[in-house]
């Protein structure tokens, strides 16, 4: 059974058509399902996150999903700074790095959709003054926003 209802899917398809200007690649870091996996080390939300992304990608030809395995593609994971899964890395017109860790469910689903829009367009709703202020930061800044799905 799909995670997105028929109505939601239709609505999102419309929004994507209106607001995705350039292609976005979402790198999904996950783990391969293995019969030998130790339960305590299993990724609880990886499968569902992958399903959700696949359903979203089916709604627009501008969204592409590339799936990586945290263990077998350790080098690539290290390059993108991924140490926990599920992880999403959004690649598009963004100048910095935008990532999401965990399943984007509940209220956070809207955050995922907005991230796709912003990375597609390479611009945000920040004020012109803010945009200018952060465009040339002297040193790297790492922002971590901790949220819960409800």
Partner 1 sequence: MAVESPNITADVIEASEFPELIQRYAVRGVPKTVINATVGIEGAMPEAAFLNRVVQAAREG
The binding site for partner 1 (CB under 8 A) comprises 44-45, 81, 84, 93-105, 108, 111, 115, 118-119, 122-124, 126-127, 129-131, 133-149
Residue 63 Cβ, how far from partner 1 at the closest point, in Å?
16
Three-point CA angle 116, 122, 127, nearest 5°: 105
| Minimum gap (Å) between residue 6 Cβ and partner 1 | 26
Which residue lies nearer to partner 1 by CB, 13 or 108?
A: 108
Q: What DSSP string runs through 25-44?
A: EEEEEE----TT--GGGS-S
For residue 79, give every residue at least 6 positions away whose Cβ sits within 8 Å of its Cβ, in sequence order, or none.
none
In the complex with partner 1, the residue whose CB is nearer, 58 or 101, is 101
91 φ, ψ (degrees, to nearest 5): -115, 120
Whichever of 36 and 141 has its CB closer to partner 1, that residue is: 141
């Amino acid at each position: 059974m799909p995670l997105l209802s028929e109505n939601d899917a239709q609505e999102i398809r419309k929004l994507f058509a209106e607001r995705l200007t350039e292609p976005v690649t979402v790198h999904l870091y996950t783990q391969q399902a293995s019969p030998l996996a130790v339960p305590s080390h299993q990724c609880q939300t990886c499968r569902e996150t992958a399903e959700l992304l696949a359903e979203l990608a089916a709604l627009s030809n501008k969204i592409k999903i590339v799936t990586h395995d945290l263990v077998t593609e350790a080098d690539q994971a290290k390059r993108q700074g991924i140490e926990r899964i599920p992880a999403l890395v959004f690649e598009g017109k963004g100048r910095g790095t935008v990532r999401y860790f965990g399943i984007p469910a509940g209220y956070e689903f809207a955050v995922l959709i907005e991230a796709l829009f912003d990375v597609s367009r390479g611009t945000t709703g920040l004020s012109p003054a803010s945009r200018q202020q952060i465009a040339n930061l002297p040193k790297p800044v790492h922002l971590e926003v901790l949220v819960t799905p409800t």
